[in-house]
């Protein structure tokens, strides 16, 4: 069995990579070998373009991937989520996909005559089947953007168009899209590092978010490697 472990940047999963290396029977390039599974570690970079390219290229090669895990940090639109909390993102929408109307509002592809087909559902969401019900993490609805939101005006627009969105990232939708198209089971875990608000990096808590999401990823991977 092959598990693909993906992050946008190396620091987001560095603790887990070190943990895996300590227990692997063999390491070949970016692949860590265990008796019943091999775990392939990849980094997709920031944004949907590089993530989609990397995953499309990987899913077209051998060996086939049975499970893909995306791990990293996210900003919370939902203020009930706490700094350092881990969420299991079970749906994704693209927050800037479509066209801008004359008043600055967002027109979805369906609004301009191009309703998306598979792998999107009727609401324009990506919802891969997965083990959400058996995992001990809060589930959350994700919103993927190409530019991290950082102004009150932009936040107001997001809340108007995507009132159910709870967390924001720059790669989640690309990950779900590629997995759905390739028929690969997908799991996206995110640690909350900040709230989506007027940009203020001094409030971000990257270390607790990274520590928490790595503990969660290791919890998921432990049954596979032992």
pLDDT value of residue 129: 84
For every residue of 3-71, DSSP letters joined together read EEEEESSGGGTHHHHHHHHHH-SEEETTEEE-SS-EEEEEE--SSHHHHHHHHHHHHTSSSPPSEEEEE
Res. 50 pLDDT band, cuts 50 70 90: very high
Please check the confidence at residue 131 and state whether its pLDDT lies above 70: no
What is the per-residue pLDDT across 179-216, written as a single tens digit (0 to 9) for each? 999 999 999 999 999 999 999 999 999 999 999 999 99
Please check the confidence at residue 133 and state whether its pLDDT lies above 90: no
Q: Which of 69-83, 96-110, 126-140, 147-161 has the lowest mean pLDDT?
A: 126-140
Q: Are 71 and 6 in contact (CB under 8 A)?
A: yes
Total number of domains in the chain: 1
Cβ-count burial 177-210 (b if 16+ within 10 Å, e if not): bbbbebebebbbbbbbbbbbbeeeeeeebbebbb
pLDDT value of residue 188: 97
* Strand, helix or coil for residue 186: strand
What is the per-residue pLDDT across 82-129, written as a single tens digit (0 to 9) for each? 999 999 999 999 999 999 889 888 988 988 999 899 999 989 999 998
Q: Which of 21-30, 49-58, 126-135, 161-170 has the lowest mean pLDDT?
A: 126-135
Range of the domain at 207: 2-225
What is the per-residue pLDDT across 15-46, written as a single tens digit (0 to 9) for each? 999 999 999 999 999 999 999 999 999 999 99
pLDDT value of residue 152: 93
**H or E stretch at 224:** helix 206-225
The enclosing domain of 46 has a CATH number of 3.40.50.1580
Q: Are 30 and 40 in contact (CB under 8 A)?
A: yes
Output the average pLDDT for the chain.
Answer: 95
User: CA 175 to CA 48: how far, in whole Å?
Assistant: 8
- pTM, whole model, 2 decimals? 0.95
Q: Are 51 and 175 in contact (CB under 8 A)?
A: yes
């Amino acid at each position: 069995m092959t598990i693909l472990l993906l992050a946008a940047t190396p620091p987001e999963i560095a603790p887990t990579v070190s943990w895996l290396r300590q227990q692997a029977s063999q390491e070949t390039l970016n692949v860590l070998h265990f008796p019943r599974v091999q775990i392939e570690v990849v980094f997709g970079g920031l944004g949907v373009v590089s993530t989609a390219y990397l995953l499309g290229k990987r899913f077209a090669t051998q060996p086939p991937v049975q499970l893909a895990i995306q791990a990293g940090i996210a900003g919370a639109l939902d203020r009930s989520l706490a700094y350092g909390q881990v969420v299991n993102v079970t749906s994704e929408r693209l927050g800037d996909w479509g066209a801008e109307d004359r008043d600055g509002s967002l027109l979805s592809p369906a609004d301009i005559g191009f309703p998306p087909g598979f792998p999107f559902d009727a609401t324009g969401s990506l919802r891969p089947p997965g083990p959400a019900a058996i995992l001990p993490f809060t589930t959350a609805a994700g919103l993927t953007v190409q530019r991290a939101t950082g102004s009150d005006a932009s936040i107001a627009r997001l809340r108007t168009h995507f009132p159910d969105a709870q967390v924001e990232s720059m790669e989640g939708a690309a990950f779900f899209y590629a997995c759905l198209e390739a028929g690969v089971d997908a799991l996206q875990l995110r640690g909350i590092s900040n709230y989506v608000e007027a940009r203020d990096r001094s409030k971000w808590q990257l270390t607790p978010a990274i520590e928490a999401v790595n503990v969660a990823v290791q919890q998921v991977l432990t049954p596979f490697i032992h």
